[in-house]
């Protein structure tokens, strides 16, 4: 069972499914451009999942080890606004989607970029590169009443004190009500589900000893050390 503390209360919320949106900020999509190939903005949200063991949160992150060897040498940061769902729903209309939100958190969608690239090349699912243990740490959850407009918040990530990601949640391609409508129509949503809403530009290769400070205005902060 994975539980996350609710800020300012004694409550903890049990985390169920973790939905993640890829390519939801234009400047981030451009980070993958090569002279031969430019990625287009998606026509519909690009959804992938992580197991809830990804949300086990500590103050450190490490690359999984298999047969005595780290499975990657390119761990990267993706700071994201996380929407936490407060009640069950299927085919939730966009118009009242925000009624289904319990609150928000700061999350990091840690990614093994080399593993992801290799799996993509083979046309294989990239679960390993995104869903590994503790790959989706989150801050305490802030109840939605405390966040005036989740679609206009500064979102930042510092690496060893230097700003690497600096954007605003207003820059998302697919907005929160549509993401809730879309995911609930296909998968259904449950209380305790989380939606990682995509990362802005500024992904960086991380090294052991790196100190990451992620922050979203009025939502909170999350500090993680790479070990
Ligand atoms: Mg991401």
pLDDT at 151 over 90: yes
Question: How many Å lie between the centroid of ligand 1 and the Cα of residue 96?
Answer: 25
**pTM, entire model:** 0.97
Over pLDDT 70: what percentage of the chain? 100
pLDDT at 33 over 90: no
Selected from 3.10.450.50, 3.30.930.10, 3.90.850.10, 3.40.190.10, the CATH number assigned to the domain covering 3-226 reads 3.90.850.10
Domain ranges of the chain: 3-226
85-134: pLDDT as tens digits: 999 999 999 999 999 999 999 999 999 999 999 999 999 999 999 999 99
Other CB atoms within 10 Å distance of the CB of residue 45: 22
Question: How many Å lie between the centroid of ligand 1 and the Cα of residue 109?
Answer: 5
Confidence class for position 47, pLDDT limits 50, 70, 90? very high
pLDDT at 35 over 90: no
Average pLDDT over residues 146-164: 98
Give residue 216's pLDDT: 98
Question: How many Å lie between the centroid of ligand 1 and the Cα of residue 178?
Answer: 17
Q: How far is it, in rounded angstroms, from Cα 46 to Cα 179?
A: 10
Question: How many Å lie between the centroid of ligand 1 and the Cα of residue 136?
Answer: 9
User: Which ranges of 52-175 does DSSP label H, i.e. alpha helix?
Assistant: 113-121, 127-130
Q: Which helix (H) or strand (E) holds 181?
A: helix 176-186
pLDDT at 40 over 90: no
Strand runs (DSSP E) across the chain, as ranges?
A: 3-5, 12-14, 18-22, 46-50, 60-61, 65-66, 69-70, 75-76, 79-85, 101-108, 111-112, 142-143, 154-159, 162-168, 194-196, 211-216, 220-226
Find where tokens 């966040």 sit.
147
Question: How many Å lie between the centroid of ligand 1 and the Cα of residue 199?
Answer: 5
pLDDT at 34 over 90: no
Q: Please tell me whether residue 86 adopts helix, strand or coil conformation.
A: coil
Confidence class for position 193, pLDDT limits 50, 70, 90? very high
């Amino acid at each position: 069972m994975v539980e996350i503390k609710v800020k300012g209360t004694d409550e903890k919320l049990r985390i169920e499914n973790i939905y993640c949106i890829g390519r939801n900020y234009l400047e981030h999509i451009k980070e993958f451009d090569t002279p031969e190939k430019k990625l287009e903005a998606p026509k519909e949200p690009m959804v992938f999942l992580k197991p809830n063991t990804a949300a086990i949160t500590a103050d450190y992150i490490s690359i999984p080890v298999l047969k005595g060897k780290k499975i990657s040498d390119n761990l990267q940061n993706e700071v994201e606004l996380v929407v936490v769902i407060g009640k069950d729903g299927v085919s939730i209309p966009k118009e009242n989607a925000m009624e289904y939100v319990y609150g928000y958190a700061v999350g990091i969608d840690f990614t093994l970029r080399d593993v992801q690239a290799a799996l993509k090349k083979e046309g294989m699912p990239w679960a390993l590169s995104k869903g590994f243990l503790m790959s989706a740490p989150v801050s305490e959850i802030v109840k939605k009443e405390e966040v005036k407009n989740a679609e206009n918040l500064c979102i930042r990530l510092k690496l060893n004190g230097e700003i690497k990601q600096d954007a605003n949640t207003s820059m998302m391609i697919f907005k929160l009500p549509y993401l809730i409508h879309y995911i609930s129509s296909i998968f259904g949503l449950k209380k305790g589900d989380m939606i990682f809403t995509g990362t802005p530009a500024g992904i960086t290769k991380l090294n052991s000893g790196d100190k990451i400070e992620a922050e979203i205005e009025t939502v909170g902060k999350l500090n993680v050390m790479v070990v």
